[in-house]
Amino acid sequence: MNIWSTLDPAQLINLTIVVPLIGAAFIALFSQQPNLREGVSIITAVVLFTLVLAVTDNTFSKLSMETTWVALFPGLEIAYSVEPLGVLFALVASFLWIITTIYSIGYMRGHNEENQTRFFFCFALSISTVMAICFSANLLTLFIFYELLTLSTYPLVTHAGTKEAKHGGRVYLGVLLSTSIVLFLLAILGTWVSAGTLNFTPGGVFTQAHSDSLVALLLVLFCYGIGKAALMPFHRWLPAAMVAPTPASSLLHAVAVVKAGVFSILKVVIYIFGIDNLSDIATTDVMLYIGTATVLLSSCVAMTKDSLKARLAYSTVSQLSYIVVGALLASSVAAAGASLHIATHAVGKITLFFCAGAIMVAAHKKNISEMVGLGRKMPITMIAFAIAALSIIGLPPMAGTWSKWYLMVGAVEADKMIIVVVLTISSLLNVAYLLPIPIKAFFNTPSGDQPAWSWSETKEAPLPSLIAIVVTTTACLWLFFYPQPLIDLINLIPDVSTELKGRP
């Protein structure tokens, strides 16, 4: 499926970054004609997806794709080069952008939100920066667009303009900017000064010549500096960002922004430190256990939250740490599981957020305690919620099974049984905080003064939103039965493999 095969491969990268920008320009141009504006959004998203498909096609045929924009410092450029992990992330982000745009149309109109042009405009901008992050060839490029992603999503977080939204925005910007400026930038400069390069190199850039303590320090700085990965205690921005309109929460704070964080960590681990060298670094285990602690603690916090979006936010914090743990296990299978989790968690979590938004639009409910019996009013939404929840938990036949499977296998391969135990406990916690919501919605009747819904008053979210929910739910199932294309892509990443070592 390569409709762009006539194009120069290097141009493809430029186009993936520029097309959303052009889209943004047209969105601003058509601010007075909502139908035209949303039409532009969808067309841009579809065009972007075909571009990313073309990039994927080229990746499978081992075509090298590189392009350089400008030399910022001597020997250091804003440059792009395609590698499989970035392609995976780009595929996920660009596919879900189409779905989210469709969903947003239903949500934003159903909710009568103001400033819709600004919303769609910033959305397109942030997707453009995400594409640049996916294909960045060195840490400097990654850092620049990492920062731009923070800035371009800030207006989305504060979209509502309420006091709460401003406070959320302040936390969001504060945590993400401070961690990135103080720790991430320091780590990048430390790498630059000691290793003399920031290019993503298979096998890593550090050699035996570099002092162990320096590399150990850099690993800690990277893990915490990439605040978008929401490793505790720098996770506060994620729940704070939930004041954003639900479509923004679902694409950005369940997929694009947070995945940009864990993607950066994976990228740093694979291409800066090198998976094989990871076990020699003194602080790897420390960060690994901080990751596991985050998995457990945030699951526990999620259980205490009654606001559905807050619960999903803490669930996201927990799931992100799966990926961090997978990256730090120093096992090629675990890294494969972590990479796959980028995709599987994305489809699962975006469905859950879509459902939360649909409930907000159709039933005007935010809190879980008010959703008892809601299954009668919104059966499709609630079924989708159940399926996505099962995927997050990691039960077959849902997509989440595979990533969790590989993570577990990786933990066994790395001989860290404690991680296996923690992952199992975490699955149980997921069951405890996610499944009661659909169960109560279908089987319980509300008590006390709450209204009881009956099957006759079925009122689902607006049609575009419903379509989006159905598509992502199908994706949750689809990726269980046909994960092979993604697994093939992951196996192309250097040092990452779904095959256990020692086997052919």
Partner 1 sequence: MFAQHLPVLPIILPLMAAPLCILLGRSHLAWLLATLVSALSFVISVDVLLTTLEQGVLSYAIGGWQPPWGIEIRIDTASAMILSAVTGISTLVLVYAKESIAKEVDPSQHTLFYTAHLLCLTGLSGILSTGDAFNLFVFLEISSLATYTLVSLGSDKRCLTAAFRYLVMGTIGATFILIGVGMLYMKTGTLNMIDLADRIAEFNGNRTLKTGLAFILVGVSIKLALFPLHMWLPPAYTHAPSAVSAFLASTATKVAVYVMVRFIFTIYGAEFVFHTMSMDILLLALAIVAIFKCSFMATVQSNVKTVLAYSSVAQIGYMILGISLVSSVGLMAGLLHIFNHALMKGALFMAVGAVLLRTGSVDIKAFQGLGKQMPLTMAAFTIAGLSIIGVPLTAGFVSKWYLVTAALEQQQWVIAMLVLLGSLLAIIYIGRILEAAYFKEPSELTAGKDIKEAPMLMLVPMWVLVIANIYFGIDTSLTLSAADTAAQLLTQSMTEIEAAQ
List residues near partner 1 by CB under 8 A: 70-74, 143-144, 147-148, 151, 158, 161, 166, 170, 173-174, 177-178, 181-182, 185-186, 189-190, 192-194, 217
Closer residue to partner 1 (CB): 190 or 446: 190
Locate 489 and state its tokens.
């892509």
Shortest spacing between CB 86 and partner 1, in angstroms: 19
Closer residue to partner 1 (CB): 67 or 472: 67
Shortest spacing between CB 18 and partner 1, in angstroms: 16
Q: CA–CA separation, 300 vs 41, rounded Å?
A: 38
Closer residue to partner 1 (CB): 199 or 298: 199
Closer residue to partner 1 (CB): 123 or 154: 154
Shortest spacing between CB 184 and partner 1, in angstroms: 10
Main-chain dihedrals φ then ψ at residue 337, nearest 5 degrees: -60, -40
Q: 73-96 b/e with 16+ CB inside 10 Å = b?
A: eeebbbbbbbbbbbbbbbbbbbbb
Closer residue to partner 1 (CB): 172 or 314: 172
Shortest spacing between CB 97 and partner 1, in angstroms: 24
Closer residue to partner 1 (CB): 100 or 152: 152
Shortest spacing between CB 246 and partner 1, in angstroms: 22
Locate 43 and state its tokens.
């067309």
Locate 186 and state its tokens.
């320091």
Q: DSSP state, 462?
A: -
Shortest spacing between CB 217 and partner 1, in angstroms: 8
Cβ neighbours, 10 Å, residue 353: 29
Closer residue to partner 1 (CB): 226 or 399: 226
Q: CA–CA separation, 149 vs 147, rounded Å?
A: 5
Locate 298 and state its tokens.
């945030």
Q: CA–CA separation, 117 vs 17, rounded Å?
A: 20
Closer residue to partner 1 (CB): 148 or 412: 148
Residue 173 carries which side chain, given as an amino acid letter? Answer: L
Q: CA–CA separation, 408 vs 422, rounded Å?
A: 10
Shortest spacing between CB 189 and partner 1, in angstroms: 5
Closest to 303 (Cα-Cα) out of 290, 314, 291, 287: 314
Shortest spacing between CB 313 and partner 1, in angstroms: 23
The CA-based angle 140-59-144, given to 5 degrees, is 15
Shortest spacing between CB 195 and partner 1, in angstroms: 12
Closer residue to partner 1 (CB): 217 or 425: 217
In angstroms, the Cα distances linking 478 to 172, 318, 481 are 34, 24, 5
DSSP assignments along 369-429, one per residue: GG-TTGGGT-HHHHHHHHHHHHHHHT-TTSTHHHHHHHHHHHHHHTT-HHHHHHHHHHHHH
Closer residue to partner 1 (CB): 215 or 476: 215
Question: Are 243 and 237 within 8 A, CB to CB?
Answer: no
Query: Which parts of 158-307 fold into alpha helices (H)?
Result: 163-178, 185-195, 212-225, 237-240, 246-251, 257-268, 275-278, 284-304
Shortest spacing between CB 437 and partner 1, in angstroms: 34
